[in-house]
Amino acid sequence: MGAGKRGLLTAAVTVVCAVTVLAAPGTAFAAPTPTPTPTPSASPSAAPDKDLEAVREKLDALYHDAAVATDQYNAAEEAADQQSAAIVALAKKIVKGQERLADLKKRAGAAAAAQYRSGGLPDEAQLMLSDDPEDFLNGAGRVLQGQRATKGLLEEMTRTQEDLEQYADDASAQWEKLEANRKAKAAAKKKVKKQIAAAEELESKLEKKEKERLARLEQQAAYKAQSTWLDSGILDEINGKASAQGKKAVEYATSQIGKPYEWGAEGPGSYDCSGLTSQAWASAGQPIPRTSQEQWKQLKKIDIKDMRPGDLIIYNSDASHVAMYIGDGAIVHAPRPGRTVTIAGAGSMPILAVVRPDA
């Protein structure tokens, strides 16, 4: 990572995180020792820190549930888009099949009319009535070819009709799936809004000083988790260099710093966590699944010690959050509602797995 990029990350961490910094070249992204600050005097109505810690945990749970519901919404939306595309493709096949069937019927009708004009007499009778047996035999050969062709037409008509019936059945099944996913999408949307509304209501009840103390508690929790992760010595083992595509993905993701989190968003003005990572890799020419859970399921798992910039870190036991590793123990991610795309410590949340889009 160049000095210019490192400086950008340092500034972003200082301004946005206020708890971790990107160190000088050659050192790891580590949480600095916090400077002790005087504890402000609490007003009689202010909640003690233990109550605020309970509030913090409650907010974490609400936003976590909102993230899970957001993943469900995104998955339902992606499935609905795929089903809509499948229905359109099937409709085109049905139109072409109907046109083909009409043409086959027309040709079969013409063949039947030609046979009718011949009088429908048996070949033996036509031979006896013919003035020129040789001409008859030549004509009989052409009739035989015509009969074979007619048989082929009838067989193709049957196959085309069977195809049309299958297309109709497939379209009906896709419509049923589409309707189910629309309902799932609506249910997930309702749950997301409910969880976010509950979190916002909880925060709205806090006084200004309580909100400031709550922010410090959040910072301390992230600092503690990052410090524990770094103290394990894991960063000494991580020295992978980004691939060409990985560099492009990192450039895209870091250029979105400061843009707001919005559930279900894929840019360019706002993002949710997997919207940011999927769009970053799409910009690098590598499409990946839309949701954090599918990114975890479908992309290749990588040992943390083999991690390199551009890899994705999946967080929480239910894969409800994802971030992009950018090197030096840091990630860029879209955290949650009310926050912006920012830089944080890679170990500031419980890691489930690391996956590589361009493995």
Residues acting as catalytic residues? 273, 321, 333
Three-class DSSP labels, the chain: CCHHHHHHHHHHHHHHHCCCECCCCCCCCECCCCCCCCCCCCCCCCCCHHHHHHHHHHHHHHHHHHHHHHHHHHHHHHHHHHHHHHHHHHHHHHHHHHHHHHHHHHHHHHHHHHHHHCCCCCHHHHHHHCCCHHHHHHHHHHHHHHHHHHHHHHHHHHHHHHHHHHHHHHHHHHHHHHHHHHHHHHHHHHHHHHHHHHHHHHHHCCCHHHHHHHHHHHHHHHHHHHHHHHHCCHHHCCCCCCCHHHHHHHHHHHCCCCCEECCCCECCCCECHHHHHHHHHHHCCCCCCCCHHHHHHHCEEECHHHCCCCCEEEECCCCCEEEEEEECCEEEECCCCCCECEEEECCCCCEEEEEECCC
Q: How many CB atoms lie within 10 A of CB 28?
A: 16
Closest CA relative to residue 252, chosen from 279, 272, 285: 279
Separation CA 32–CA 23 (nearest Å)? 9
